[in-house]
């Protein structure tokens, strides 16, 4: 089956985007894979900081890699937003097909240097590497604006870091729950002119639908999605407890939330095809 990196490169030069969904348990991972199979689309299962606090990367790698083995479509296992080199090194050898070193808050020269060392190790194991320049703010942490990606810095990290994908800040915001933001396509176009690797947009749950459709026609090859699925799952689980106050069985309580999560994932995947 084709490597997920090859498919993201392909998506960046066509009018499609490969979705990367944050996962926090095997139920979500299986539901997302089922949705991808229904849509006949590649997908990434992403392990973010929160998920790593709950379970070590070795366990995530083994769990998700086993799910990938039986998938009928290409599925990548992605380490998201990691600043710890030792964690990245462990992820490289335990089932992850891509890793993200997030040096967005470092000086550019230091970001490039560390990315270069990560790339050297990852190449030996056929693992793709994502970096970030500019900072995408987190709404739930009260961060405002972030640092928009400077095209010249994007060019420098692409040319000198050797990375496979570059995450950019062009108006997108992490973890938006009650509003949408507009993408600055002028900045994105300037980045595209000087950066040849596929671009990545984080915070897709907070982007307007018309902007998502427009992003499909750019060099964006991957889009990260988390909040939209967490909201669907959480709201459905809350209803289960309210409707069935005496219920205690995890399997029965999770059945409807997981079904709704799968349907939302399917809807979002189809919207990026």
Of 80, 139, 164, 211, which one is the catalytic site residue? 80
Active site (annotated) includes residue 80: yes
Question: Look-up: residue for tokens 């990196």?
Answer: 5
Largest CA distance in the chain: 59
Where do runs of H (alpha helix) occur along 72-142? 85-92, 108-123
Under a CB-based contact definition with an 8 Å cutoff, are residues 178 and 129 in contact?
no
Angle of helix 185-194 relative to helix 151-161, nearest 10 degrees, comes to 30
Provide the 8-state DSSP code for 206.
G
Distance, in Å, from the CA atom of 82 to the CA atom of 129, rounded to the nearest integer, reads: 11
189's enclosing H/E stretch is helix 185-194
- Please give the positions annotated as active site: 80
């Amino acid at each position: 089956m084709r490597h997920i990196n090859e498919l993201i490169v392909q998506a960046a030069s066509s009018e499609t985007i490969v979705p990367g969904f944050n996962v926090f348990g095997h139920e979500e991972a299986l539901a997302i894979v089922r949705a991808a199979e229904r849509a006949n689309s590649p997908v990434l299962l992403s392990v973010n900081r929160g998920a790593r606090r709950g379970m070590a990367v070795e366990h995530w790698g083994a769990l998700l890699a086993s799910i990938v083995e039986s998938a009928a479509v290409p599925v990548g296992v992605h380490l998201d937003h990691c600043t710890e080199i030792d964690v990245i090194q462990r992820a490289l050898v335990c089932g992850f097909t891509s890793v993200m070193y997030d040096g967005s808050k470092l000086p550019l020269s230091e970001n490039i240097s560390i990315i270069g060392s990560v790339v050297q190790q990852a190449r030996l194991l056929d693992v793709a590497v994502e970096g970030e320049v500019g900072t995408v703010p987190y709404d739930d942490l009260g961060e405002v604006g972030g640092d928009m990606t400077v095209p010249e810095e994007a060019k420098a990290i692409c040319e000198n870091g050797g990375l496979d994908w570059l995450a950019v800040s062009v108006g997108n915001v992490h973890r938006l729950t009650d509003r949408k933001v507009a993408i600055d396509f002028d900045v994105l176009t300037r980045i595209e002119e000087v950066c040849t690797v596929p671009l990545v947009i984080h915070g897709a749950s907070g982007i307007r639908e018309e902007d998502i459709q427009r992003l499909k026609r750019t060099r964006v090859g991957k889009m990260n999605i988390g909040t939209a699925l967490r909201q669907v799952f959480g709201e459905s689980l809350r209803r289960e407890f309210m409707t069935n106050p005496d219920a205690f069985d995890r399997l029965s309580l999770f059945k409807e939330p997981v079904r709704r999560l799968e349907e939302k994932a399917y809807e979002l995947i189809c919207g990026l095809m």
